[in-house]
Chain A
């Protein structure tokens, strides 16, 4: 049966061809489905096609194509029929398609071709459907486009001047209104042009180098309060800008452009410059006033010194001559004697006043020398000075823990002398005065409560306490004012300068003097003196 054999051979040949074809289809890198042009039943398909279709192989194979892809039928049934009827290839390029995949609707992007396979008679026998899914690529592309769109929107809507320079020529790709304002140009003149062509006035100010550097190295650049000359309303104006150049990097990390952001800070800078010069001016004025004040102070001190010194002489003479007169008069009536006594008392009081003013005015003289002073010695000296009064009043002066410190000896004498004198003077009648003078180191914690003291120094606190008539605590500050007196001159004589002198001495020594008391409850004076200068 040669015919049969040859037939078999032929069949074998065909079968062989078919299986080779089948293998080719199966191994093809794209989805392939071959359908019968008459019945539109899928006859051959590969795994790739199944993947794109998202439906089981068995469902597709042997089924009417539009039964399988009913969801796509409204869009492509006609196209497929046209291919069958006219024998012309149909291509759909990256179209978006909704397919039911794994039972769920899925929007995908595909490129597919309906390719007619013609028989010997030229009619379309089969249609090969080639398909490639490009959802990922299209989505990525879209994402890039979305990003760029968002970037453009950000730039356009930004409250500061922004623009993109694209490429090595720095073509102005997009810029917002603020940037146009900034450049003093309309968008028509400059969009799409290289920046240094669009803005020739920006040339040769160093921006070429800055931009190139960012473009080449990818290092961003920022500058604050840079002075720039820009055209404004037809004039060249000096403005100050904060600006930054940021490289725009592509997916492959290459730099494709630069985002420029600029903020016009001219107002802020000029305001600040104005404030700075204002402050400088005010500081200068203050220094001047201060100098005048110091001068005035000096003159005032000088005046007080000279005035009191020169006042002292005539008053001293009035006093002395009064005494001489008193001595010289042989027979003097009682009334005249009283007058003479009053003249003597008044001139003596005046002398005391002048002396105190004199010593007050001399306190701040700078030539006074600081020496190591033992306060215990000072107190001993004072006890000697007041020996008579102490004896008369039967007073007791106790002292302990008095330190040795750097001070002006004469002023320490005045300070403790005045305080002891006060304590003796303002003692209670009929009670022997007891005065306690004690020293101690002021702790850091205690120091922090005294804001007037220099917190970086170490202090001694020396307390002078008495059990005398005291004073009302609400007067604790005013007792240190010059000429301030709380008691009548009749009962307690004095000039009202003593405590002012004491306070000034303490302050001269970088220290302070405060007082605590209650009426009839004794007084405690707190002397704060630094351990070293």
Chain B
């Protein structure tokens, strides 16, 4: 999970734990950090949750970089944000995200969304 908001790390973690006991969530607070970890193979994720607004390197910049890297470009990425602005959704798809979710404020809704994604 690439997100500068540690609270969201916690919320996502809690939601994921409720869905499955077999989830290992690693976090990075911006795109730059995440790229470093990925290149050093410090993490080898099956799925990346990517926030849009972050300092140093935002979600779109990170995704563009990722797509240039052999060995990394095929990791599925799901972008999310509080916004549901159509242009953000469109840009996410064009940059290569497989899905876009707007962060539901409702916790059980978040669980449902994550469940749908994980068991697709």
Contact = CB atoms under 8 A, between A and B. Distances in A.
Interface of A: 309, 312-313, 315-317, 319-321, 323-324, 327, 348, 351, 410
B39 to A, nearest CB: 30
A316 B105 contact: yes
Interface in B1-16: 5, 7, 11, 14
B101 interface: no
Interface in B84-120: 86, 103, 105-108, 110
A340 to B, nearest CB: 12
Among B106, B107, B108, B110, which residue has the most Cβ atoms of chain A within 10 A?
B107
A307 to B, nearest CB: 14
A316 B82 contact: yes
Given A313-B5, A317-B7, A323 B108 contact: yes
Contacts of B108: 323
B6 to A, nearest CB: 11
B60 to A, nearest CB: 17
Given A309-B82, A320-B11, 15 more contacts: A312-B82, A313-B5, A317-B7, A317-B11, A320-B105, A320-B106, A320-B107, A320-B110, A321-B7, A321-B11, A323-B106, A323-B108, A324-B11, A324-B107, A327-B107
B14 A324 contact: yes
Given A317-B7, A317-B11, A320-B11, A410 B107 contact: no
A522 B108 CA distance: 37
Contacts of A351: 105
5 contacts: A313-B82, A320-B107, A321-B7, A327-B18, A351-B105
B105 to A, nearest CB: 4
Contacts of B5: 313
Chain B interface helix/strand/loop/mixed: helix
A348 B18 CA distance: 22
Nearest to A325: B107
Nearest to B14: A324
Given A313-B5, A324-B11, A324-B14, A348 B82 contact: no
Top-3 shortest CB links A-B: A323-B107, A316-B105, A319-B105
Contacts of B83: 309
A313 B81 CA distance: 10
A411 to B, nearest CB: 12
Nearest to B86: A410
A316 B14 CA distance: 16
B103 A316 contact: yes
A38 to B, nearest CB: 137
Contacts of A327: 18, 107
Contacts of A309: 82-83
B19 to A, nearest CB: 13
A272 to B, nearest CB: 54
A348 B105 contact: yes
Interface string B54-76: 00000000000000000000000
B101 to A, nearest CB: 14
B30 to A, nearest CB: 17
Contacts of B106: 319-320, 323
Contacts of A320: 11, 105-107, 110
Contacts of A315: 105
A320 B106 CA distance: 6
Contacts of B107: 320, 323-324, 327
Nearest to B53: A309
A327 B111 CA distance: 12
Contacts of B103: 316
Contacts of B7: 317, 321
Nearest to A319: B105
